[in-house]
Amino acid sequence: MEFSNAQEGLEQFNRRIAIAGGFVLICFTLLFARFVWLQVIQHDYYQTRAEENRISLIPVTPNRGLIVDRNGEVMARNYSAYTLEITPTQVVNLEDTIDGLAEFITIEAKDRKRFKKLLEESKRFDSLPIRTRLTDEEVAKFIARRFRFPGVEIKARLFRQYPRGAFASHVLGYIGRITERDIGQIEEEGVETNYRGTDHFGKTGLERHYEMELHGTSGFEQVEVDAGGRAIRTLARTAPVPGNNLTLTLDVKLQEVAEKAFGERKGALVAIEPATGGILAMVSVPNYDPNLFVDGITTTDWRDLNDSPEKPMVNRALNGAYPPGSTFKPYMALAALTLGKRRPEQLLADPGFFNFGGHMFMDDKKGGHGMVDMYKSIVQSCNTYYYVLANDLGIDNIAKFMAHFGLGSRTGVDIEGESEGVLPSPAWKKQRFKKAEQQKWYAGETISVGIGQGYNAYTPIQLAQAIATLANDGVMYRPHLVNHITDTKSAQKTYIEPQPLRTLPLKQEHIDVIKNALVGVNKEGTGARAFAGAEYVSAGKTGTAQVFSLKGGQYRKDALKQELRDHSIFIAYAPAEQPKIAVAVLVENGGFGAQAAAPIARQVFDYYLLGKLPPGAAPADEAAKEADE
């Protein structure tokens, strides 16, 4: 019994051994089926995924295009420097890491602040610079200690540099790190791929307007990476194509003469070549150093620039809107001729005031200018003549005529953010104000507009475009800063062909009357002192824009605070017979146009037409040359 029991047990055991063996085979077959699925049937899919794992496309940022002036002088360039960068997501404790780095690399408080600011603005996976422009010694020190700092790297990067600092900063603008707003624009342009490796973007000025030209085409490197994302070796490389270079219509030397002529004063100047619309100089002072923005501006610098009462960040040439004052008069006179409301020789007796419905509009010369014809009205800048004229023309005619000259509308210059200014009209007033009583146009307001005051407000570039158009006998061009764009790869030049915007419906004989009067201004009128002894014939018109309404009181310059003093304006062109340069100058709180603005125009003309430098001023490079000798 026991034996059979044992025998039975053994048989049962052997059966179960067999079952176990069968189970093992089934399980292994299952595994094998899984392997066949993965390695044969799905092989292509996993092969691709393994390749995707292994190969990473790393964008290679192209060199940004250069900006040079019309004579080839470099205004914006790039230089290569080492930066110390931290990828915050790969660092456990940022503070500790930075403290650790600070033990052997100079990291100042401002570097930390800037880094913090970048951190707040950055995308999640960015590597951000804690220090830029490392010395070779600092690079060596870091490399020796690199293992202690995961997530920290040294990178060779190209930096934008504006070699002349604040000089012409409002023209050039600056680049800064890409922000959300820029990403919006990049997406709009559909160039996300091209910007994958880029972390800078043009923010203002030419840098912004020509961003797509200057940026270039990113290259790509096919790199084998490990699981940590570290590049092991380069498999293939498509070289980046550098950005296109901009050659400006601007003349750096002329720009320098103009900027220096302002001295410590605030203001703007736009000089245009009338025959093309090319901008020869564009000044807005005070200005700022665009180099501050390139690595990310520190909060203190930013606050200083933004909070300054001098407003250095405002491009006055494009965004300052000022009443044109008496520089409005030549256009008023031209309107009168064109509309047949005046003949040039028609005389007006000026008693020194204009009584309009009991309100006295005063002339600036006590007792008046006597008998005034059109020539005299411009040369001596007689207000009464234009009070009466404005009343005769009516606001609608004035607004319609001035619109031809581009006043109150954007010129289309190749810098973003230009202001429109204000060309006053009943229609404008209706749109501008909400309350019914404010919307109404009063006839008295037309009188003020007639001498360039009241609601009139134009940007210096509009004033410059208008005088250039007049100088060019009514053929109007779009003012522009870039003469041509050079493709860095093919060296092909794309010229900004100046096409006339429009030819104004004017009669040449009328234009000649006005031009003759403008020459008179500089010969025997309000501009005569500034242009005494000039070796060329020039034409101009002075103007004074009221900042502070005196309400009938006497204007006394020294009694008024500086910021309440009138703006000094001057528009001019030269040589009178064949104009090569037209200019609008505005000196904020400079007083009468003849005093502050006209001498600046004179210096600009002297240099541009004769190569004559103002006394005591030599362009930096010539001074440097002399020092070398």
Nearest approach, Cβ of residue 26 and another protein (Å): 10
The residue within the footprint of another protein, chosen from 43, 181, 359, 625 (CB under 8 A), is 43
Nearer to another protein, 9 or 351 (CB): 9
Fill in the DSSP letter of residue 210: T
The residue within the footprint of another protein, chosen from 103, 109, 188, 228 (CB under 8 A), is 228
CA dihedral 114, 119, 125, 130 (to 10 degrees): 30
Nearer to another protein, 48 or 300 (CB): 48
Residue 495, interface with another protein (CB under 8 A)? no
Catalytic residue among 122, 326, 538, 568: 326
CA distances from 344 to 267, 337, 340, 373, 401 (A): 34, 7, 10, 6, 18
3-state DSSP assignment of residue 497: coil
Nearer to another protein, 34 or 430 (CB): 34
Burial class (CB in 10 A: 0-12, 13-18, 19+), 313: middle
Nearer to another protein, 14 or 439 (CB): 14
Nearest approach, Cβ of residue 10 and another protein (Å): 8
Nearest approach, Cβ of residue 14 and another protein (Å): 5
Contact 361, 387 (CB under 8 A): yes
Strand 493-495 relative to strand 482-486, pairing: antiparallel
3-state DSSP assignment of residue 577: coil
Residue 49, interface with another protein (CB under 8 A)? yes
User: Is the previous residue joined to 424 through a cis bond, with omega within 30 degrees of 0?
Assistant: no
Backbone φ and ψ for 569, nearest 5 degrees, come out as -125, 145
- Determine the Cα angle at 558 with ends 444 and 386, to 5°: 25
CA distances from 567 to 109, 212, 385, 401, 595 (A): 42, 38, 22, 25, 11
Contact segment (CB under 8 A) with another protein among 44-52, 197-205, 269-277, 415-423 equals: 44-52
Nearer to another protein, 6 or 610 (CB): 6
Nearest approach, Cβ of residue 142 and another protein (Å): 25
Nearest approach, Cβ of residue 28 and another protein (Å): 5
Site for another protein in 13-42 (CB under 8 A): 13-14, 16-17, 20-21, 24-25, 27-28, 30-32, 34-36, 38-40, 42
Residue 155, interface with another protein (CB under 8 A)? no
Q: Any catalytic annotation for residue 4?
A: no
The residue within the footprint of another protein, chosen from 107, 158, 225, 313 (CB under 8 A), is 225
The residue within the footprint of another protein, chosen from 156, 227, 436, 491 (CB under 8 A), is 227
Nearest C-alpha neighbor of 80 from the set 29, 139, 152, 127: 139
Nearest approach, Cβ of residue 88 and another protein (Å): 17
**Distance of alpha carbon 359 from alpha carbon 363, whole angstroms:** 13
Nearer to another protein, 41 or 92 (CB): 41
Nearest approach, Cβ of residue 227 and another protein (Å): 4
- Written as one letter, the residue type at 225 is V
Nearer to another protein, 231 or 537 (CB): 231
Nearest approach, Cβ of residue 32 and another protein (Å): 6
Binding mask 231-250 for another protein (x = CB under 8 A): -x------------------
The residue within the footprint of another protein, chosen from 45, 79, 104, 433 (CB under 8 A), is 45
Contact 481, 418 (CB under 8 A): no
The residue within the footprint of another protein, chosen from 3, 4, 7, 12 (CB under 8 A), is 12
Residue 125, interface with another protein (CB under 8 A)? no
**Distance of alpha carbon 454 from alpha carbon 392, whole angstroms:** 17
Q: Is the dihedral of CA 406, 207, 218, 487 positive or negative?
A: positive
Give the interface size with another protein as a residue count (CB under 8 A).
39
Nearer to another protein, 33 or 140 (CB): 33
Contact 408, 462 (CB under 8 A): yes
Contact 587, 562 (CB under 8 A): no
**Distance of alpha carbon 289 from alpha carbon 141, whole angstroms:** 32
**Distance of alpha carbon 499 from alpha carbon 443, whole angstroms:** 39
Find the length of the chain: 629
Residue 89, interface with another protein (CB under 8 A)? no
- E strand spans, 91-138: 128-131
Site for another protein in 205-224 (CB under 8 A): 224
Nearer to another protein, 38 or 360 (CB): 38
CA dihedral 567, 581, 311, 185 (to 10 degrees): 140
Catalytic residue annotation = 326
- What residues make contact with another protein under the rule CB under 8 A? 2, 5, 9, 12-14, 16-17, 20-21, 24-25, 27-28, 30-32, 34-36, 38-40, 42-43, 45-47, 49-51, 53-54, 224-228, 232
